[in-house]
């Protein structure tokens, strides 16, 4: 069984991708794919997520363990001569 954060990330990615596909389809005059699945994710999560400013989205993503890409640690300054 997947951890709750992995489940949340997978669902969020799935429904955000479907929303993006539907927006692109509408922009090109093509019928968007039908909405199937959870109404919470399609009708509540996606619109609310799109309204959030990027700084808040980033804060939420970095606060959730395992749901974001890790940052490289800052390099340390070498001490002494490099021989």
Question: pTM score, two decimals?
Answer: 0.70
Q: Domain for residue 79, yes or no? A: no
What one-character-per-residue DSSP string does 18-40 give? HHHHHHHHHHTT-PPPP--S-HI
Residue 23: the pLDDT is 93
In a domain, 15, yes or no: yes
Residues 6-63: tens digit of each pLDDT:
888 888 889 999 999 999 999 999 998 887 778 899 899 999 999 999 999 888 877 7
- The answer to whether residue 40 sits within a structural domain is yes
71 part of a folded domain: no
Domain range for 35 is: 4-63
Question: Does 76 or 83 have the greater pLDDT score?
Answer: 76
C-alpha span between 25 and 63 (Å, rounded)? 33
pLDDT of 81 > 80? The answer is no
Domain count of the fold of the chain: 1
CA–CA separation, 79 and 27 (whole Å): 57
């Amino acid at each position: 069984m997947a951890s709750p954060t992995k489940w949340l990330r997978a669902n969020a990615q799935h429904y955000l991708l479907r929303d993006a596909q539907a927006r692109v389809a509408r922009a090109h005059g093509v019928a968007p794919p039908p909405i199937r699945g959870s109404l919470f994710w399609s009708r509540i999560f996606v619109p609310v997520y799109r309204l959030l400013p990027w700084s808040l989205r980033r804060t939420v993503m970095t606060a959730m363990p395992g749901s974001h890409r890790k940052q490289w640690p800052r390099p340390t300054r070498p001490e002494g001569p490099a021989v």
